[in-house]
Structure 1
Amino acid sequence: MTNRPASDDPAEDPHWLTEEEQAAWRAYMHATRLLEDHLDRQLQRDAEMPHVYYGLLVQLSEAPRRRMRMTELAQQAKITRSRLSHAVARLEKNGWVRREECPSDKRGQLAILTDAGYTMLSRSAPGHVAAVRAAVFDRLTPEQVKQFGEVCRTIATGLEPEGADLPWLR
């Protein structure tokens, strides 16, 4: 926004982005939208699933015994419980995930990666990693990779303060 209306009270004026900050912000937004679309198209083409579903399979594959409480999976995936429930239902339909009651809490459910889901993940991972590498890491120097990681961790830490009202915790 270049034409910034000023209020009569300077204390009410927002702390506008500088030109350099605005350019960086727009570059970030442009890149993230392009990257998400690129990865979604690659996974739809190669594995017939959206990027978010692939991420759920990855989370489950890395969990002990390839199982995780649904609430924890929603938190790890940074999606709402209702969106997770819909995604897991689709993954169940494909035979890649199944649900079971949580033995320690009858109100909770576990999402479990099936052998078929693990096989699908194993088949689709090389193409996905190649897409990520080509789109991001092959374009950066080792120093830029380090800086990129630091910047992303700093932003994420600031957005997840203790006690925050985050959608996946509701």
Structure 2
Amino acid sequence: MSEPEDKIGAWAALLRTHAAVLPRLERALLRTGLPITWYDVLLVLNAAPHRRLRMTELGQQAVVSRERVSRVVTELEREGLVERQSNPDDRRSAFAAITPEGRRRLRAAAPVYLDAVEQHFSGHLSDDEAKVIATALWRVLGAEETRRNR
């Protein structure tokens, strides 16, 4: 295969792998009562400083589309897993913060999620393959985020 075909092949493999693996992760997580979109938002918030982010920051960091992040936060808020907090420095923005119950539910779901990732994705890769894939994808993501922020 020539180089352009290799790169298109890599893109096709990424898309097909995502399409094949994501539904399996979603099914595994549903057994915990957390849809994958909820899990993603809780995971991002839990890792954030003070376990909260401005909604715009959450929209940039979560895998959920920026358009959907507000709806997901509203759903999580109804379940008591997230709370919105006013931003004293900027009245136009608000924070989304994970609650203690949100942290508890995230911790309970984490082993299920990690097991599903291992079973359906990382378990098929050697350590070297995983490192190459991660390095390449983080580089692409970094370039696109830089481009977006210009």
The answer to whether TM tops 0.5 is yes
2:112 is equivalent to residue 127 of structure 1: yes
* Distance in structure 1 (CA, Å) of the matches to 2:46 and 2:99: 9
Q: Gapped runs of 5+ residues in structure 1?
A: 1-16, 166-170
Q: Which amino acid aligns with 1:36?
A: L
- Aligned-partner Cα distance in 2 for 1:111–1:93: 13
After the TM superposition, which residues 75-90 of structure 1 pair with which residues of structure 2 at under 5 Å, given as runs?
Answer: 75-90=60-75
TM-score (norm 1): 0.77
Within 5 Å, which residues of 2 pair with 1:5-24?
19-24=5-10
Is 1:51 matched with 2:36?
Answer: yes
Q: Which deviations, in whole Å up to 9, do the C-alpha atoms of 1:115-168 show, x marking residues without a partner?
A: 111110010011111111222222111110111111211221332233458xxx
Deviation at 1:64, TM superposition (A): 2.1
Q: In the superposition, relative to structure 1, how do residues 164 and 45 fare at CA in structure 2: closer, same or farther (>3 Å)?
A: same
The structure with the greater share of residues assigned to helix is 2
Q: Which amino acid aligns with 1:105?
A: D
Query: Are 2:122 and 2:130, in contact at CA under 8 Å, matched by a contact in 1?
Result: yes
Alignment pair present for 1:38 and 2:35: no
Q: How many residues align?
A: 148
Question: By how many angstroms is 1:19 displaced?
Answer: 4.9
- Deviating more after overlay: 24-33 vs 119-128: 24-33
> Among 116, 122, 126, which residue is 1:137 paired with?
122
1:97 aligned residue: 82
Assess, with a 3 A threshold, how the Cα gap between structure 1 residues 139 and 45 changes in structure 2: closer, same or farther.
same
Deviation at 1:77? Answer: 1.1
Change (3 A) 1:49 1:162: same
The aligned counterpart of 1:8 is none
Separation in structure 1 between the aligned mates of residue 48 and residue 142 of structure 2, nearest angstrom: 23
Is the partner of 1:100 in helix, strand or coil?
strand
Q: Does 1:70 align with 2:55?
A: yes
Q: Distance in 2 between matches of 1:37 and 1:78?
A: 15
* Structure with greater Cα Rg: 1
Aligned amino acid, residue 116 of structure 2: A
Runs of at least 4 residues of structure 1 off by over 6 A? none
Specify the alignment match of 1:147 in structure 2. Answer: 132
Cα distance in 2, alignment partners of residues 157 and 125 from structure 1? 26
Cα distance change, pair 134–66 in 1 and its aligned pair in 2 (3 A): same
Q: Residues 104 and 162 from structure 1, CA distance in 2 versus in 1: closer, same or farther, beyond 3 angstroms?
A: same
